[in-house]
Amino acid sequence: MTQRKYNRKEFLKLAALAQAALYVPLLSCNGNSTGKNGKEDKPVDSIATEKETALPEKKVTYYKKGDKEYELLRKGFNKRIDKFPSLIALCKDTEEVAIAVKYAVANKLPVAIKSGGHCMEGFSVNDGGMVINLSELNKIGWVDKEIFTTGPGAKLSQLYDELLPKQRIIPGGSCSGVGIGGLTLGGGYGLLARNFGLTCDSLLEVTMVDGKGNIVKASGSDELLWACKGGGNGNFGVVTEMKFRSHPAPATLQGYRFKSYKTDTAKARYILQQWFDAAATLPPTCFSAFVLNGKTVYILLTNTAAPDAAVNDFISKMSAANEKTTQTKAEPLARALKVFYGRQAPLYFKNASAGLYKNFADIESCIDAAIDTVLATPGMIYQVNTLGGNIADKNFETASAFPHRAYPYFSELQTYWESPKQEAKLLERFRQVEEIFTANGISAQYRNYPDVDFKNWQSAYYGTGYERLQQLKEKYDPDNTIRHPQSVSR
């Protein structure tokens, strides 16, 4: 079966601008079956025969293999991931989560947590353990006109439908089906992040069930809240409620698109370098991305304010460097965001962070080799997105575990396919591009775009903050009940 190159409409639906956090991970993305000392736990062969008598009588609804709901609940957005937990706990509140965690502890079941189901590496499901499903923890309530609470299972479209009629917003992603939990705990960015900071920068308080089944809260200067702002995905416990400060929503959003076709390596490199130079001066009201999809270069610019001199300069330079320029009207934000909501049905894909950059010089010596591979691989996309703006606020930096605020650019590698037969070749090419960047010193990676093949992922995701996270792991989950292949270990 031949590999497809997606046209513009399909690309927008399929990739839905992953730069705006389309494929963000789950609440506490986790899910491997390795034990505390790295040894494999024996899978529970039959919950029905071995464990059913120990199931708590109160509240929690459990599903096991053979139940009709089991198949639906175990699957996520990535069809590449195919794991089979022994037990799925569908919880409706914090107390039920605590019951489920205590049951997992008593029966030595590793715990994975699922809210939205978009984890790129399937850390929200495991083989032979327990999955705690948080999709029903999705209620939104207002504390006052600015502050609201939400469960981690609330999807972004649900949040925007609640906030935008009140002219409020938080800087979340764009994909409508992503759960707010995982987006926030790994950092979280999107079209409005340069204006308001990362999603986690609006987080005021969390309620969490730790790895022992205890219910804890964190706010203010608590160390746990610091960790949950960029370092909380599947490391210490299950976050069941989040309190956010919302922001006045911009009235409108306007989009610009620039395209070049049948590009070769030299042309794609030239456009990318021009984009880096022009994007460096954009105001915080803007977001931009360079996308190489097959042989087509696609550049996006969004703006929530009237164009200033820097924006007009960017438009002029990108129009000169590309073959086609289009723009939308400045539309109400609620309507404009729906353009980026993306595909809802699961698909086969492999996406991962491809490094954070300070400027074009960081990749100048290796970008030709990376572009060569992308051009030769239909279905593969290389993308660079703007960070910077208020993401780099020093106050946000000290209050959060997210370590990469000095980098104005974040890149990602994506590949999509329709048949499992295509997977092996595409993953081989995917790793080739990753190795090109690694060999040239690109080491900082965004935790919400994980890859199980990353070496030194501890420092890549968390910088110098990993030891601080280890101390919290010791405090809240000393027996490593909450875990996945790249969770913090003691």
> What does pTM read for this prediction?
0.89
Cα–Cα distance, 412 to 355 (Å, whole number): 7
Contacts of residue 488, Cβ cutoff 8 Å, sequence gap at least 6: 231, 235, 236, 458, 466, 469, 470, 472, 473
For residues 20-46, b (16+ Cβ closer than 10 Å) or e, as one string?
bbbbbbbbbbbbbbbebeeeebeebee
Indicate the range of 117-131, 259-273, 457-471 predicted with least confidence.
117-131
CB distance 136 to 92 below 8 Å: yes
Which domains are assigned to the chain?
Answer: 8-19+251-462 (3.40.462.20), 47-133 (3.30.43.10), 140-249 (3.30.465.10)
DSSP 89-118: EE-SSHHHHHHHHHHHHHTT--EEEESS--
CA atoms within 13 A on the CB side of 64: 14
DSSP 11-71: HHHHT--GGGSTT---TT-----B-TTSPBPPP-S-IIIIIGGGS-SSS-EEE-TTSHHHH
CB distance 269 to 367 below 8 Å: yes
Higher-confidence position of 1 and 251: 251
What pLDDT is stored for residue 309 in this prediction? 98
Cα–Cα distance, 206 to 236 (Å, whole number): 13
Q: What is the pLDDT of residues 195-252, one digit of tens each?
A: 999 999 999 999 999 999 999 999 999 999 999 999 999 999 999 999 999 999 999 9
What pLDDT is stored for residue 118 in this prediction? 86
106 has a pLDDT exceeding 60: yes
* Strand 409-417 with 380-386, pairing: antiparallel
CB distance 447 to 21 below 8 Å: no
Tell the burial category of 65 from Cβ atoms under 10 Å away from its Cβ (0-12, 13-18, 19+). Answer: middle
- For residue 8 the two structure tokens come to 């513009």
| Per-residue pLDDT band at 140 (split at 50, 70, 90) | very high
What pLDDT is stored for residue 117 in this prediction? 85
8 has a pLDDT exceeding 70: no
C-alpha closest to that of 158 among 140, 142, 170, 133:
140
Best-predicted range by mean pLDDT (25-34, 72-81, 101-110): 101-110
For residues 319-357, b (16+ Cβ closer than 10 Å) or e, as one string?
eebbeeeeeeebbebeebbebbbbbeeeebbbbbbbbbb
- For residue 101 the two structure tokens come to 């965690």
Q: What is the pLDDT of residues 377-397, one digit of tens each?
A: 999 999 999 999 999 999 999
Q: What is the pLDDT of residues 157-198, one digit of tens each?
A: 999 999 999 999 999 998 889 999 999 999 999 999 999 999
Q: What is the pLDDT of residues 328-372, one digit of tens each?
A: 999 999 999 999 998 778 999 999 999 999 999 999 999 999 999
Strand partners, 303: 254, 286
107 has a pLDDT exceeding 50: yes
CB distance 434 to 366 below 8 Å: no
57 has a pLDDT exceeding 70: no
Q: What is the pLDDT of residues 474-483, one digit of tens each?
A: 999 999 999 9
